[in-house]
Amino acid sequence: MTFKNLWIRSFTLAAVSATFTFALFLAPSAAVAEHTRVTNPNYLGLEVLGRGLRYSVQFDRVFSDDFVAGFGIGSTSTETRGNNPTDTGVTATIIPVYGNYYFVRDGNSLFATGGVNLITNASRVKGYRSKTGGYEFGSDSVAPTFGLGFESRTDSGALFRVTAYGLVGDKVTPWLGFSFGLSF
């Protein structure tokens, strides 16, 4: 990937993230919970793109007013290598383990996130690139992740997150994730 393509991709991810964050700030505040992170400490949801590269189902739990820890299971397909007609690519199974630190105790909050992706079949996907995002799998079965996101919780328990990630492999790949789910 050239520097120009990387810059365009990074700029696009930042612009989309800023647009979603701005739109959420304009949403009616009556539907947003004041501070339900500790009232509804569990979250179950689906993240599209994000840590699982294509999708992941995630569960997390509040451990303090400002800190959440969670895990999930996700999957992504890989591209084929070369012109080998028998190489159809493989599926990478990913278990994200993460923590979120919230900057504001409110229904709408910015947060920092960090964690690792456990790649369960790392030896099988080594050298492949994911079809979504072009993340190149290395030989390590543990890949660090970090990011900055925005979360919106409603009084009814609906939860939405948008997160800009850095996925660390042989190089850092910028990435974006959208989470939808319920807190209870």
Q: Which residues of the chain have pLDDT under 70?
A: 1-35, 82-83, 85
- The pLDDT score that the predictor gives to residue 14 is 56
Q: Note the pLDDT tens digit of each residue in 79-126.
A: 887 667 677 789 999 999 999 999 999 989 999 999 999 999 999 999
What pLDDT is stored for residue 87 in this prediction? 72
- pTM (two decimals): 0.78
pLDDT reported for residue 30: 42
CATH of the domain at 116: 2.40.160.20
Residue 166: other Cβ atoms inside 10 A: 15
Sort 158 into a burial class: Cβ within 10 Å, 0-12 / 13-18 / 19+: middle
Q: What is the pLDDT of residue 80?
A: 81
Q: Can you tell me the distance from the alpha carbon of 85 to that of 83, in angstroms, rounded to the nearest whole number?
A: 6
Residue 60 confidence (pLDDT): 97
Q: Which domain holds residue 18?
A: 3-183
How many domains is the chain partitioned into structurally? 1
**Would you state the torsion angle of the CA atoms of residues 40, 46, 50, 53, taken in this order, to the nearest 10 degrees?**
150
> CA 54 to CA 177: how far, in whole Å?
9
What pLDDT does residue 79 have? 87
Residue 135 has which token pair?
A: 């993340």
Instruction: Output the six-digit token pair for 123.
Output: 């030896």
